[in-house]
């Protein structure tokens, strides 16, 4: 796929570029600030953008704001944002219009090369990949805000299943992560649907709705 990478730290930017290039992806451009990123996306129309959240010119949430603008103006472009710290509010802002083609990863996850590449590919394929620590923070926030039902009714294990669903994992992958059977995962998901009041509906994808229940605002 064709990729634009935005990161103001030269060594990290070059390292990510090399990692993705070694996997056969084409790095069509790199950027060192948010304004340059927007210009490169408009010029090259990449399949995927990977950007840091904190970038020049303001060194605040410039990268996040650029990512949101890319989502609006180039809806076919997949976006992965990288953050040094957990920012549940920033993640919810990015996911406000849906989780398809969105990734939100902590920078330390890059050290696990296999997981990083898997996350990037899932986002590029139209799925989502949200860092587990970010999801945990979002779930805790949702539980605090909705103590009377919904997410708050889920057991710790079902919350784990829902978090892994939000990362885009299949039932088989969830089973491997939790060291349980696929049958046990399927049962947990069925009970999640009950807790979240998501009855079968041919016009709705309950798995997506369950994830978006706490990812979207």
CA 176 to chain CA mean position, Å? 20
Give pTM, 2 decimals: 0.69
CA 196 to chain CA mean position, Å? 22
Note down pLDDT in tens along the chain; length 217 residues.
999 999 999 999 999 999 999 999 999 999 999 999 999 999 999 999 999 998 888 888 899 999 999 999 998 899 999 988 877 777 777 877 777 899 989 988 788 898 899 999 999 998 888 887 777 676 666 555 554 457 777 888 888 888 888 777 889 989 999 999 999 999 999 888 888 887 776 544 677 667 666 554 3
The set of residues, in sequence order, having a beta carbon less than 8 Å from that of 201 and lying 6+ positions away, is none
Tokens linked to 4: 């634009």
CA atoms within 13 A on the CB side of 40: 25
Burial of 55 (0-12, 13-18, 19+ CB in 10 A): buried
């Amino acid at each position: 796929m064709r990729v634009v990478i935005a990161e103001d730290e030269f060594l990290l930017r070059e390292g990510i570029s090399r990692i993705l290039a070694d996997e056969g992806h084409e790095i069509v451009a790199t950027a060192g600030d948010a304004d340059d990123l927007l210009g490169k996306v408009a010029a090259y129309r990449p399949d995927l953008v990977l950007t840091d959240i904190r970038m020049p010119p303001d060194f605040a949430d410039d990268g996040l704001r650029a990512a949101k603008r890319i989502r609006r103006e180039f809806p076919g472009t997949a976006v992965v944002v990288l953050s040094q710290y957990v920012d549940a509010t920033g993640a919810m802002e990015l996911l406000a219009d849906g989780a398809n083609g969105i990734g939100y990863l902590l920078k330390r996850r890059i050290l696990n090369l296999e997981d990083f590449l898997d996350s990037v590919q899932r986002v590029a394929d139209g799925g989502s990949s949200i860092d587990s620590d970010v999801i945990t923070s979002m779930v805790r926030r949702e539980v605090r805000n909705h103590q009377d039902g919904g997410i708050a009714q889920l057991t710790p294990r079902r919350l784990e299943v829902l978090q892994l669903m939000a990362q885009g994992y299949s039932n088989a992958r969830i089973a491997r992560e939790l060291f349980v059977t696929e049958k046990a995962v399927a049962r947990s998901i069925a009970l999640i649907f009950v807790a979240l009041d998501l009855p079968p509906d041919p016009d709705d994808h309950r798995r997506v709705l369950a994830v978006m229940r706490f990812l979207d605002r």
